[in-house]
Amino acid sequence: MSIQTINPNTNKTVKSFEEMTEKTVDAKVAKAQAAFTEWKETSYQERADLLHKVAILMRVKKSALAKIITLEMGKVIAQSEAEIDLSADILDYYANHGETFLADKVLNPEYGTAIVRNSPIGVLLGVMPWNFPFYQVVRFAAPNIMVGNTILLKHASIVPQCAAAIEEIFEEAEAPEGIYTNLFISGKRASALVSDKRIKGVSFTGSEGAGASVAMEAGKHLKKVVLELGGSDVFIILEDADMDKTVEWAVLGRMNNSGQSCVASKRFIAVEAIAHEFIKKFMDALSKIKVGDPMDPATELGPLSSEAAAEHLADQVKRSVDEGATVLLGGKRADRDGAFMEPTILTNLKRGITAYHEELFGPVASFYVVKDEQAAIDLANDSDFGLGGSVFTRDIERGKRVADQIDTGMIFINHPSQTQADFPFGGTKRSGFGRELSESGIQEFVNKKLIRVSGINDPF
């Protein structure tokens, strides 16, 4: 397997890494298991202190870490710095609130007393993607380290320097060896590792196909799994939306991270009364985006994560056009070196067309015009995905009513889908199951043990 840093701005190889041997991986799993036996006995304060140290180090090293993100997967530098800030905030969030989230729940039986106590379950395997190489890892690792579990992390093969940097920060924060461990292995070997009896649960973020493989192995071995898979988030514009502000959010919602986000706004659905006004302004805004070197602070749209990703997206656009879609803007690879794609808008989409059904992971928007609110809801729900979505309207009660009818794990009114530490994150349908972040995220990999105290003479 190839584990390499390839700068997507130039498509040139920067650094290569050796895949770990089976013997090395076995030793690291053993170390994580040994660390768990001690870590589970530590206090919440000790665990919180470690997370705070990691957060402090991330903020101190923000500039250097952000440059690694941008180098390896092409995120524009300001967004890379924001990712480090968000990751540090998540670490602090669980350090500050974890003990409260995990406190005993007191029950009130008719006789005696009873509590439900949360306890760690052991070594967890995380398989994480490249698009947010620090945030995705932290939102899995932070709550589970706070629980008392230990972490094995198989990161995406195109961000090896990010993977190594995270482990190094835990080491610098004086985390006991085995609490957080990076594994340089292939996805196939990660799936096989699920069968190891020392591993008690798995969290996967990535494609449907790879997620299904991991889930199949977890199911075969009766292990808990959390899946965060693809998304094709809807962005509904109703006739009473604040149009200028809605267009601003549409641009950010589609183009953030070069469009490479599971919760990026991807399907833009406008009611016909305002569809022409929206698409005219949306096209004008996208046509003015500055495409360029992601290390340049002036750049607004960088490359895709890899040449393979750019080729795949361009092929999806071509297949869609061949099947009957119309290109309103862009539609081609950008005329420059690197893994770039033009800002693109497709329309005249219907069932059977590639872009109608598949996730477009990059700066390509799908645009639909519908008759009214109910038609927008019906079209929004005609998707195999169910991660996030947005509704834009000045009538908040109307927005809530529409949001309640959208079949997704998250829905936002007058804002694109977003993430923050105290919002539960996850989806429905083929977007996966389970939740990360907020209190929900710390409850996924715990043993909820009932402890019941009865009097010797209490009835059965």
What class does CATH assign to 3-229+431-451? alpha beta
Residue 360, SS3 per DSSP: coil
User: Tokens 């402090």 belong to which residue?
Assistant: 56
> Pick the catalytic residue: 228, 300, 359, 444?
228
Amino acid in position 95? A
Going along 206-295, which residue ranges are E strands?
224-228, 233-237, 265-271
Instruction: Using 70 as the pLDDT threshold, list the residues of the chain that sit under it.
Output: 1
- d(C-alpha 402, C-alpha 147), whole Å: 37
The whole-angstrom separation of Cα 338 and Cα 8 is: 6
Q: Tell me whether residue 262 is one of the annotated catalytic residues.
A: yes
Q: What local confidence, expressed as pLDDT, does residue 2 receive?
A: 83
DSSP string across 134-145: THHHHHHHHHHH
User: What's the CA dihedral at 49, 53, 55, 60 to 10 degrees?
Assistant: 160
Record the pTM. Answer: 0.97
Domain 233-413: CATH superfamily, name plus number: Aldehyde Dehydrogenase; Chain A, domain 2 (3.40.309.10)
Q: How far is 369 from 276, CA to CA, in rounded Å? A: 9
Q: Which of 162, 167, 262, 342 is catalytic?
A: 262
Structure-token pair, residue 373: 């609110």
From edge to edge, which strands make up the β-sheet containing 105-107? 105-107, 113-120, 446-453
DSSP for 342-389, written as a single string: --EEEES--TTSHHHHS---SSEEEEEEESSHHHHHHHHHSSSEES-E
Q: Residue 196 — φ and ψ, nearest 5°?
A: -60, 125
Give residue-wise pLDDT tens across range 11-67.
999 999 999 999 999 999 999 999 999 999 999 999 999 999 999 999 999 999 999
With 0-12 CB in 10 A as exposed, 13-18 as middle and 19+ as buried, what is 298?
exposed
The β-bridge partners of 12 are 7
- For 288-318, the pLDDT digits (tens) are 999 999 999 999 999 999 999 999 999 999 9
pLDDT at 1: 60
Q: d(Cα 435, Cα 430) in Å, to the nearest integer?
A: 14
Residues of the chain with CATH 3.40.605.10: 3-229+431-451
Distance CA 385, CA 262 (A): 10
Other Cβ atoms within 10 Å of 199 Cβ, number? 20
**Cα distance between residue 206 and residue 213, in whole Å:** 11
DSSP β-bridge partners for residue 428 = 386
* Numbered ranges of CATH 3.40.309.10 in the chain: 233-413
Instruction: Report helix, strand or coil for 237.
Output: strand
